[in-house]
Amino acid sequence: MEYLWLIIAVAVVLVGGIAGLVATRGRGRSTPTLDREGPPEVVAPADTETEAEPGVGDDAAVPRDTPTRTVEDADLPTIEAPAPVEKPESTASRLVRLRQRLARSQSPLGRGLLALLSRDVIDEDTWEEIEDILLTADVGVAPTQELVDRLRTRVKVEGSTGASVRDILREELVTLVDPTLDRALHVDRADGKPGVVLVVGVNGTGKTTTVGKLARVLVAEDKDVVLGAADTFRAAATEQLATWGERVGVPTVRGPEGSDPASVAFEAVKAGIEQEADVVLVDTAGRLQNKAGLMDELGKVKRVVEKQTPVSEVLLVLDATTGQNGMTQARVFGEVVDVTGIVLTKLDGSAKGGIVVAVQRELGVPVKLVGIGEGGDDLAPFDPEAFVDALLGAESA
């Protein structure tokens, strides 16, 4: 009997020891913490034996010392989320905001004219001051003289007090800007092929940025767009345009630095046709070394593109703050390529809104788009009446 109790005591000690060992091993098998900012941490098992441990139940089939893994912690491939695609601002809200900015930046011109025309006595000195204001605002000599002559006549007949002066000035400025010009962008698909827009202008005017912003305008109108980075002599221009494309989810066709711009333009249009895009926007090189070289390059780009489909628009980008230098650029491009519309950039912070009139007179084509500010949506269709209201400090709805 004494031996029996001794055997029982030894058995109890052995069972307690085994239970303690199992508990210790269980605590050592905690799930590893994963660094969510990097790839999942893979813990190599220290022992791969599959010998069952007594008393563990179903866990006996788990390899010894293998950490418990959840589905989240499995060694799955890491999939990078695509960069978020921005939703461009609608044309309506963009116009409202741009009118407000125009009113703030351009109103000194309108206020100056209104103050002079509201004087009790408008003599020759006053008319000379009015001419000076208009010329300083880059309206141009001939348009300034026309406007002053019409104002003289109307003020003499209708008077120069209160609201009538404002009404007269507004009507004459609207007439000067010319609301009858066709300012629509003609980029609709034709014969199953996309509209093609060539964007031209010298470097520094905001040409590449304008192409990116125009892509946003068109995407906001639910159009499928392809960008062509044919300004191949500036690596920065290619990268900049690709970034604009990524932001609104449109593809950019580009070639190596220094490659043939016409070849890139051709491939962009080809891609647009294959992808059944609505519009292909082509950013061209902005070098202005000499007229002959510019003519050859732009002429070649247009000829090569038109082997596939006609060019719908040729938009000339001008910096509104450059005054007569901008007018010189406009003349050169007007002689080199068939410009169909003008984009005026950098109107913010400038009282030189008269360049709208001057450049339209110089080229005989309308200002179609105007840009104010550095934001992605700071580009909108040009509205003559809203522009004049802004000049006069009245924000139209």
Q: Which residues are annotated as a binding site for GTP?
A: 201-208, 283-287, 345-348
Contacts of 267 (CB under 8 A, 6+ apart): 228, 253, 255
Task: Answer for the pair 176, 357: CB distance below 8 angstroms, yes or no.
Answer: yes
How many of the other CB atoms lie within 10 Å of CB of 120?
Answer: 6
Distance separating alpha carbons of residues 223 and 357, to the nearest angstrom: 31
Residues at the annotated binding site?
A: 201-208, 283-287, 345-348
Question: Radius of gyration of the chain from Cα atoms?
Answer: 36
Task: Answer for the pair 368, 343: CB distance below 8 angstroms, yes or no.
Answer: yes
Strands 279-284 and 252-254: unpaired
Distance separating alpha carbons of residues 169 and 318, to the nearest angstrom: 27
CA distances from 245 to 84, 137, 227, 393 (A): 12, 35, 7, 35
State the Cα angle at 74 between 70 and 80, rounded to 5°: 125
> What tokens were used for 230?
């044919």
Task: Answer for the pair 355, 367: CB distance below 8 angstroms, yes or no.
Answer: no
> What tokens were used for 95?
């116009």
Contacts of 88 (CB under 8 A, 6+ apart): 216, 217, 219, 220, 248, 376, 377
